[in-house]
Chain A
Amino acid sequence: MWFIRVNMTDLTSRVEPLPDAYKHLGGRGMTSTIVAKEVPPLCHPLGPNNKLVFAPGIVTGTPAPTSARVSAGAKSPLTGGIKETNGGSSWAADLADMQVRALVIEGQAKKNGKLWGLHLAWDAAASQPKVEFFDANEYAGKDLFEVFPKIYAKYGDTISISGCGVAGEYGYGNAGIVYNDPAKRPTRYSGRGGLGSVMGSKGLKFIVLNREGTPGVPVMDEALFDQGRKKMIDALRTHDITKPKGALNTYGTAVLINIMNEAGGLPTRNFSSGRFEGAAKIAGEAIFEGNKQRLGKELYNHACSPGCIIQCSNTWHNPDGTEAASCVEYESDWALGANCGIDNLDDIATMVKLCNAYGLDTIETGATIGVIMEAGVIPFGDSQGAINLVHEMDKGTPLGRILGGGTAFAGKAYGVTRVPAVKGQGMPAYEPRAVKGIGITYATSTMGADHTAGYTIAPEILGVSGKQDPLTPEGKAALSRGFQAATAFIDTSGHCLFIAFAILDIASGMEGMVEECNGVLGTKWTTADIGRVGAEVLKTERAFNEAAGLGKETDRIPEFMRTEPLPPHNQVFDVLDEALDTVYSEL
């Protein structure tokens, strides 16, 4: 197993055996450990001392279902804290199959504005990966939909691509890291926290992986791994949410729009209401029915990455049946829809496509536009105006750069007080005043406002893993803590977080995940270790953040959510600061 360091300052690389201390780490556990150990917490995120780390999960690259995930980690230019941002793509599996457990990008290309690419392939003679640099200047400033086909044409069909768009070249706080989807489109993202800009700041535009001849992931105990894999497959295939033609496969993640709206927790018009009158028009059901009408047949969703059996990624089609955008996720649909008062799926899809083309995080983009609408730059509901704002970010105009700085930055620039962000990161699609547990996750997560860090929505809204009253703060700090720790384990395992819907309800699936990991690593973990291993990751991240100046004083929800009651339940965020502090003090 290999540990690769690439130094962008002198354009050199070192391929070394994986250090023993890292042999049980993968995914988020790996990226956060390396960032915490090697990145000075007070460094500038876009300077030469930050490092960008990629790590496939423990079971990524194996036949474990729904596990082609990669973690990207660095100090975040958006939050100023540690960041792990997770993506699903063949790029993840290819890195794992090359037996690369960590790829660390260091330094900074000396010549300002010069962009490089990396090409990693398997050197059969040396039985190890080899790294080559290529000049990537010809791809600078271009639409990723224009660039990806050129890279495939140059390097062949056996490659996967990661990279940054123009947003990352500009250094925006809302620049994501893009990966290819199965149709070779630039649509899969490690979206959050501006890590696309960390990549761009290093003078690195693309990392091309060639899977030809790669040896695959070694498995220490095949029988145990197989036993775990079968349990996981059974859980995913039988649970109503994850099974074929189940909710995710049929309606996609945007099936959440209606239930969040019904529960009064769908943030609307920059978090001024929990209900959007246009919700049903932009919901996952409307996407399914709209596609059916425009294509003349039912269209079920596809996998974002090889080996996924949940297959929740949708494609929205134009009236003439041509492709408009893939994928209109719940978060993107909400951010660019309800949060901006926009109820037109075609216009939302246009913005999703533009975000993918320019390398922007859709959540941060929508949350930022919501704040700009609040400022009166354009009115809520003005979808053409919103589309133009996304173009401004591509052009790099002064307005575009203010927007590219993200939700909190744009709020400051325009003197807005209703700014839905924690640690500088824009909030996702759940209202903390209507769902208290997720608010605790937003407030306390090491990542800034991040729903995936501790998805208490499962019991608070969806009835998965029990049912809890979303409006009460009672017991929610412990709930969020438990979810945050379990999530850190799943993000380390290499599985997509969506397996949680099945394995939280099906105990054998949970065992299966641990057995898969034990099979690969030779560890003796039990399900009781999930929380412990996850908590270690969280403690590492927390220590980095405290050293970076993000202590418990930053674990707070914006003031307006404590003072402005949110319709329809007319609730404020009433979780005490002392309760928020227990999430990590009692970890």
Chain B
Amino acid sequence: MKLGVLFSGGKDSIFACYKAMGGDIHQDEDRDGVIDINRISDGNIGTGKNTDKNTVICLITLISENEDSYMFHTPNISRTALAAEAMGLPLITWPTRGEKEEELEDLKDAIAEAVKRYGIEGVVTGAIESIYQAARVQKICRDIGIWCFNPIWQVDQVDYLKLLLSRGFHVIITGVFAYPFDESWIGTRLNEDKVKELERLQKRHQINPSGEGGELETFVLDGPIFHKRIEILRSRKSYDNYRGHLDIEEACLADKLVDESVDR
């Protein structure tokens, strides 16, 4: 099945992409082939045609003018083009004013464009807990008549962060938007110590360790599905009263570091 991934450059959309490409899927995969499902007598139930083999064919990014968008990740969203290039995938960027509900029509248009341009048959999202986001994407996919996949849906967030690190993803924190995150979090790399700290903050302050509640934003610089890594050349931090972000002003692609290379 040809898939398009809703893409922010953050860890969740990139890990969902990784899973859609077959990374970390249960290994006792059965044979590839084509299932052509015959519709039953009432003509209503069935799934049409589908292929076993998934191929991520494009990435889809909504560029929101509203930094408080309900649906779309905004810090460093303009850097998704570089991330897509690092992953060797085409990117569809689509503008939206980011106003509640109106932005859903923009998302629908962007997905429809991916169907038209690349023939995608399904959309992949990095939703973990947000019913608001997941339900809206599900409705759009149903209306367009394509599949919707959420491969990290309901995952244990701490286990997920550990898995992300174990698979070789280089993730940095690019935004904090909640108490008790201080300035030191901005621009820092997610590592085992930070995951432990997030686990502790989850117990003490009920934060979502993966930032699903909007507490954190991330950007991925490298990983097993990257052909090149992203190097930040110039950036600027801003922080005030538990809100802050890292603005990546200049970045480029670079060869992967030998000690961080991961088997493809």
- A-B interaction: no
